Each structure stands twice: as structure tokens, then as C-alpha cells.
Structure 1
């Protein structure tokens, strides 16, 4: 088995979304004076809690924050627009991101992004990591009108790359959308573990640092 392509999720896999969101929330707090009736730590902590690792869109998050903290003279739509326009400025990749991708490209391995989310917003976040030049294909659910774990979005990515499922790896952090879904179409699945207390038994390999992926690819390629 020769690995010809590696496909990646974005949030929690390449993008350290938790750290990025923390930086954004702190900066937004200081830019909007009506928010400062609330203690900074309390605001940021509740923002991150309501966001729930990106599973709750920010319209709901901001409406809840304004309600809970009784914030006056500030509409939630202004905060949402600010988030959409400025979150990418705080996007930070996980350690060894660029080195890992560069090493894979030197092996002539094709790279693709397969991400759920709003098209331009996710693409801006992706571009902010300064790795877009290394990718052969980028698929974002809104633009593709397909969403993980639908097998069709994985198959579309593989078709665009010209690679069969058995010669591809998918790297992600979500047990259903990334690991189980990619394995269901015949790819090997590598779990980017962000919490050592968690376990996904279905993953074909587990990495805690992106730098580990280069050796994982070599190991899979060395198997019969």
C-alpha cells in the first residue's frame, strides 16, 4: 500500500481553534467598551463555553452572552459581524504544521482540505495559516453543498486528487465526521488527539503532534 494523498480536517486538526478563539475573544472584549461591564475572565470563559468547540454558531452565542450579562447599547449582530470579519487574524496552527506539510509534499504526496463550515469564513481561516500553497484541493461544505460525514464529500475530494481511497489517509479530530466517515469510504483514518483522556478505537493511527504524521505515512506505505 502506497500513500499517495493525505486529506485533512481544519478545526482542531490543522488549526488550533481553541487557542485562536481565546485570543480573538480577549481582543474583542477590549475593542467593545459595552462588554467591559463584565469581568474579562468571566466574559471570555463564558464565550468559549457557549461556543462548545465550534458546534454552536456565533449568532446564538452572542445573543446568549448579551442576555446573560445584561449588556446594553450593543447589538449581537455587530459582534457577529466582527467575528466573521476578524477571527482569521487570530488563527494559529498547531506546532509542526508547516514542517509536516512540507515533508509530505517533498514525498510527492497530494494534500487536500475537507472541512465543514461556511465557505469564505473557513477559507479565510485556512489562508491565515499560510499553508494554502501546499494544498492541491480545498473542499468546504457550504461551497460543495455536501457535509461530513456524507461519504460523497470524501469521494469528491479523492476524485479531484485522482487517488483511490485505499491509497489515501484522512486526518481529523472528530470521531464521526472524520474518523468513522473516512474509514467508511475505504481510507485509513488518523486521529489528531487533542485531549489525552479521549479514545477513538476505530482510528487506524493516533497522533498527538502533527510532526508524528510523517512517520505514520511512512509506516502505512511500508505495509504490504
Structure 2
């Protein structure tokens, strides 16, 4: 019997690729006096390249941008601070996010989030999506002192939700950090399909979040 659903955040609930594009376009407009000597396409494309889909923290990204583009009117620390304070205004949810969470809540399922990243930054993004109220527990790696794919952070989420591993499913976009890591603690790993990977050994694959309530209903009817 599935009693709990635990989610990854970036690439699963938050469409990070679209959010980053929106943010960097907005930053270019906002700081045009400082970065306007760089063609917009060049600035935005290079940021996205250096970001490596969030796996490089933005201190390194902005240091590289300042150096490459000879940015002198603003320093990398100011650009980083702008990212930290403004990114939340560019958060783009995946389609059907709220309706899916509503359906799960109506089904009396317990919901949690496990996400790698900086605590306040990730919480700001969760609040920006308007979804904080749906979750009984939210674990962010900085605050927990543990990162995915470590089993300990998954086990902690299960403890917080008071469910066993086989009573829960984990939904994420990363084959190793999400799907395999969840399976390693005995939880079903649901892969939220992402274009950069193929042949992911997940228990179930979903293209759209709306599939989840039906999947859970099916699992509970077996």
C-alpha cells in the first residue's frame, strides 16, 4: 500500500531549464548597464553552459563570466547576490503541478521533498511555486548535512513521514541521485523523464506529473 510520495525538486516539480532561461534573460535586462556590452544571446548562452544544469554553483559561473566578458561595472559577488535574491521570481513549474498535488492530497497521501542545494534558496523556490503547504516534510541537503544520493537523507524523509520504504515512492529526474538512490533504500523509483538520459532502470517512467495519481491508484489496487 503506497502511503507517501516523496519528490525531488529541480527537474521534477520545478522546470529548472525554463526557469534558468527566464532568470538569465531578466538579469540581462535588469543589469543592462553593467553587461550590455555583451550581446544578450552570448551572455545567456554562456551562463547556461557554465551552469551545467545546476551542478555548478553560481560563484564559479559568475567568476568565469566576469573574466571572459571583461565585466567591470559589477563584480561577480554582486551578480551572485542578484541570482540568490532574484531567481525565485523566475520559477517555472512543470505543467499540472498544482492539480497533481491536489489529487494526491485528496487521496490522503503524505508528501515530502528531498532536494540538494542551499537551504533558503531552495525554500524560496518552493514558496515561489506556491506548493509548500502540500508537504509534510521538506529536506534540503545544506540544512540536513547530507546530499542525495546518500541513503541517510532518504531514510530521514521516511522517518519524518512515519512510513516504511515499501509504503512510499520517490519521483525524480536523475537516474542515479533520485531513482537508483531511492531503490537502494527499498522505495520504488519513479523517473520523471528527462531528455538527456535514456534506458533508465526505474520502476515506472512518467512524462507528465498528471500520470502519478493514476499510477498510485493502480499500485494500491494490485
Q: CA deviation at 1:31?
A: 1.3
Deviation readout 1:54-85 (Å, 9 max, x if unpaired): 00100010111111111222100000001001
CA deviation after TM superposition for structure 1 residue 194, in Å: 2.4
**Pairwise CA RMSD:** 1.0
Looking at structure 2, the residues matched to 154 and 184 of structure 1 have their Cα atoms a distance apart, in angstroms, of 10
**Paired residues of 1:14 and 1:94 also in contact (CA < 8 A):** yes
Q: TM-score, normalising length from structure 1?
A: 0.96
Within a 5 Å distance, the mapping from 1:1-224 to structure 2 comes to 2-32=1-31, 33-195=33-195, 198-223=197-222
Contact 1:175 1:200 in 2 (8 A): no
Q: Work out the number of aligned pairs and report it.
A: 221
How big is the shift at 1:153? 0.5
**What SS does the corresponding residue of 1:170 show, helix, strand or coil?**
strand
Give the superposition deviation at 1:200: 3.9
Alignment TM-score, normalising by the size of structure 2: 0.97
Which runs of structure 1 show a deviation greater than 2 angstroms over 4 or more consecutive aligned residues? Answer: none
Measured after TM superposition, the shift of residue 146 of structure 1 is 1.1
Alignment partners' CA distance in 2, 1:88 and 1:200:
33
Q: Which runs of 5+ in 2 are unaligned?
A: none
| Ranges in structure 1 where 5+ consecutive residues have no aligned partner | none
Q: Residues 207 and 169 (structure 1 numbering): CA distance in 2 closer, same or farther, change over 3 Å?
A: same
Q: Distance in 1 between matches of 2:179 and 2:205?
A: 11
